[in-house]
Each structure stands twice: as C-alpha cells, then as structure tokens.
Amino acid sequence: MTVRQKIALALASAFLTLLVGAVAVAAVLRGRTTTLEIDRTYSIINHLQGLIGALTDAETGQRGYLITGDSTYLEPYRAGRIAADSHLVALRPLVAGRVNQDRRFDSLERLERAKSAELEESIALRRQGGAAAARFVRTDRGKLLMDSARSIVAEMEASERRSLSAGQTQRLIWRRTLLLVIGIGTFGAFIVAFLSNRGIRRDVVAQQKAQVQIEEQSKQLQEQAVELEMANEQLQETTLRAEEARDAAEVASRAKSDFLAVMSHELRTPLNAIVGYAELLHDGVVGPVTLDQREQLQRVQLSAKHLVELVDEILSFTRLDAAPPSVRPGPVELAEVTREAGAIVEPVAWAKGLRFELHPSDEPVAFHSDAGKVRQVLVNLLSNAIKFTEQGEVELSSWPENGRVVFEVQDTGIGIAPEHLEHVFEPFWQADQSPTRKNGGAGLGLSVSRRLARALGGDLSVESTVGQGSRFRFWVPR
C-alpha cells in the first residue's frame, strides 16, 4: 500500500468520524430543542386545564353562597380565584412568541377578568338580598362567559396538541436519521479498518529499519527518567511547603474564629444595654420625651437591634466553623414544623406588605431529625426571602419525596444572577458587595443554613431568575 493510499484511508476515517459526530451533535441539539418545546406544550395544556378547573371551583363556591347565603362557600370561591390568577400568570411567558396563541390568550385573559367581575358582582348582590342576586344570575351572563372561556381553552389546547404531535414526529425523524448515520459510519469505519489492517501486515518488514529509531528513543527515555526524578524531588519540596502553609492557614483560621467569637460576645453586652436604655428613654420611664426625641430613640433601637442580629449571625458562624454542630435527632411532624417556622416570620412579611403563603403536607408525615435545626434553617430561608422581596409574595411548602422530606421557600424578589448562585452560600458574601448596598446583613445566613442542612444528612440548593424571584429547596432524610 502506497503512502498516498494510507493518507487517503486516514482522511476517510477522519471524515467518517467527523460526519458521525456532527450529525450526532446536531441530532442531540435538535432533540433537546424539540423536547423543550414538548415540555412547554405540556405545561401550557396543564395550565389551561387548571385555569378552567379553578374558574369552575370559584363558580361552584359562588353558587353555593348565592343559594345558601353561607359564607363558608366563599373559601373555595377565593381559592379558585387565586388559582385562576396564578395559572394566567404562568401561561403568559409560555405562550409568548406564538402568534395565534398570544391572541387567544389575550381574549382568555379578558374573559377571566370579566368572569371574576361577574362573580364578585353576584356575591355583592347576594349580600344585599337574594332576589337581586337571583335576577342577576338569570341573565346567564356568567354561563356565556364560561362557555366562551371553555371554547378558547379548547382552541388553544387543540393547537398545542397539534404542535405536540408535530414535535414528537420530528423527534422520531431525527432519531432515525441519527441511527442511520451511525450505522453507515460504523460500516464505513469497518471497511477502513479492514484496509488499514492489510497495509499494516505489509509494513511488518519495515520494522527492522525502525530498530535504530527505537534505540534512540530508549536513550531519550533514560534522559527523561533522570529529568522526572529531579522533577519529583522538586514536587516533594513543593508539597512540604504547601503542607506548612496549610498548617499556618489552619492556625490563622482558628485564631480568626476565636477572635470573632470573643468580639461577638463582648459586643453583645453593650449592645443589649443600648437597646434596653433606648427602650426606657423611648417609653418615658426616666422622664417625658418629645415626638422628635421619640423618633430618634426609635432609630437608635432599630440600629442597635440590627447590630445584635449581625453579632448573632457571626456567633452562629463561628460555632459551626469551630466544630461540627451537635445533632439531637428525634421524631418530627412535617406539617407541624412547617407551620411553626411560618408562624415565626409571618408577622414580618405582613409588616412589609407581602403575601405569605403556607402549604404544609396534606398527609401526616413523621421523620427523624433535629427539629430545632430544621426550624432554624427554615426561618433563615424565610427571613432572607422577605428581606430581598419588595412586593409580591413569599411561599413555604413541604412534602414527602422518595424517602426524604422536602421544604421549598419561593419568593418574587430581586433574584440572583446565574454566576452568583453558588457564591451565595459562601461566608460573608452578598450579590451587592458595595458599602452602600440597600439590604444589610453579614452574609452568613445561607452559609450557616447549608452547613446545618448537611449536618442533618440533607442539603440546600437554589434556583433563581433575576427580577422574577428565587426558589430554595431544603431536604433531609426521613
């Protein structure tokens, strides 16, 4: 076999490899895009069905109230209204960019608002008297609105199912194409390998000429061995220096922790005194104070309490940094610990004008863990969510899942940039590191929470979108 033929075989092998790889990459990318579109379609269909179900629930509650006048029927009505609004909010980004679906969604949104207004109006009339509400209901306005909404939902769902069918067909075509190319490439590679093997057999004779080259390479290897031995000695010396530096760093870290703990304890005593004396002055215990003085004293109290919170964060961090936290496991009821954590921070959310939603597990679930540390992690996550949420809501949910229990804290706050997601669990780190940042704190809450979660045998993770909010998921084994 000539040199030209060998080069041709090598080029053919490289071309086949590149071709199969390129087609495989294209098929994977295309399949991923198609899968995402299919998932998006399923989400749209689920939210459409959920919207109609929520409107039906709200209408059922309204009818129960109109017929009986019993205000307990207003609970499913309000829940249906809230669920309908949440489905609409979720549908808006999902149908964005789909021209016909955008238009239908706008019509559906108007119908939902009209239906909500009709339900509110009928309930208001029922409060005035049953006769006025009955006349309003006989107009069949509510039925017409629901029929129109169901018609638009049916059109949107039919359109999405057509898209779903097309996407699945396209994915199947790409899979078949990928299998065909891989098969052809494999067969081609076999032919190239067969021809190359024949050439190798003919080249066995040329091995004698290569013997001289092998001897030269042996000498080079010996020289390289000497160089490697010298490099190994240098590496050992470098390793020794690194160990010495690590020991020095550990000593410095322990000194830092001891210093923080001592300073934090020393700071708490005068800070608590400041808070106490400021409260006495504010309450007029030592004499009357003017309104301006009371306002200034209130600011002193807020600043001192903020300092106490920072000191508490530093104390918690230094305790964890000095030694692993002691875990005292015991039976814990999932819904109970969820409600306890929610009750602690709920007044803070209300004071800030935020909606606070609590969704504990519907079924009784018990797990074995340290209830105090579980509650501490949840309170840290909820407090952090409230701090970085200016408007909207904060939600705490819990449920059992595959041999563990999961807690989820979701907010509509400022969100976290993708490049900062893992940094938020580092000590003393915040997304805004400037000295004039809007939200205070030492930046230790999430670091402490993750350490506690892992000490309990679980973990803490985060998903976030800038400007839309964050979702922290905390789990422990059952």
Q: Residue 286 has what pLDDT?
A: 73
Q: Residue 392 has what pLDDT?
A: 94
pLDDT band at 102 (very low <50, low <70, confident <90, very high): confident
Local structure of residue 436 (DSSP, 8 states)? T
Q: Please state the rounded mean pLDDT for residues 445-453.
A: 89
Range of weakest confidence among 70-79, 85-94, 202-211:
202-211
308-347 confidence digits (pLDDT tens): 655 655 655 565 555 566 789 999 999 999 999 999 999 9
pLDDT band at 9 (very low <50, low <70, confident <90, very high): low
Predicted TM-score of the model (pTM):
0.39
Residue 92, token pair as written in the block: 């808006």
Number of neighbouring beta carbons within 10 Å of residue 26: 14
120-178 confidence digits (pLDDT tens): 888 888 888 777 777 777 787 888 888 888 999 999 899 889 888 888 888 888 888 88
Q: What is the mean pLDDT of the chain?
A: 81
- Please tell me whether residue 331 adopts helix, strand or coil conformation: strand
Q: Residue 3 has what pLDDT?
A: 66
Judge residue 218's burial from the number of C-beta atoms within 10 Å of its C-beta, 0-12 exposed, 13-18 middle, 19 or more buried. exposed
Q: Residue 435 has what pLDDT?
A: 43
Q: How far is CA 377 from the centre of its chain?
A: 16
Q: Residue 457 has what pLDDT?
A: 94
Which one has a higher pLDDT value, 213 or 301?
A: 213
Which one has a higher pLDDT value, 269 or 120?
A: 120
For the chain, give the percent of residues with pLDDT over 90. Answer: 27
Q: How far apart are CA 397 and CA 378, in angstroms?
A: 11
359-376 confidence digits (pLDDT tens): 998 889 999 999 999 999
Residues in a beta bridge with 476: 405
Q: Residue 10 has what pLDDT?
A: 67
pLDDT band at 256 (very low <50, low <70, confident <90, very high): low
Closest CA to 59 of 89, 79, 33: 79
Q: Residue 115 has what pLDDT?
A: 86
pLDDT band at 118 (very low <50, low <70, confident <90, very high): confident
Which one has a higher pLDDT value, 286 or 259?
A: 286
Q: Residue 330 has what pLDDT?
A: 93
pLDDT band at 429 (very low <50, low <70, confident <90, very high): low
Which one has a higher pLDDT value, 50 or 65?
A: 50
Query: Has residue 353 got a pLDDT over 70?
Result: yes
Place of tokens 């400041």: 274
Cβ-based neighbours of 391, under 8 Å, separated by 6 or more: 353, 354, 412
Closest CA to 87 of 138, 33, 50: 50
Q: How far is CA 246 from the centre of its chain?
A: 35
Q: Please state the rounded mean pLDDT for residues 175-202.
A: 79
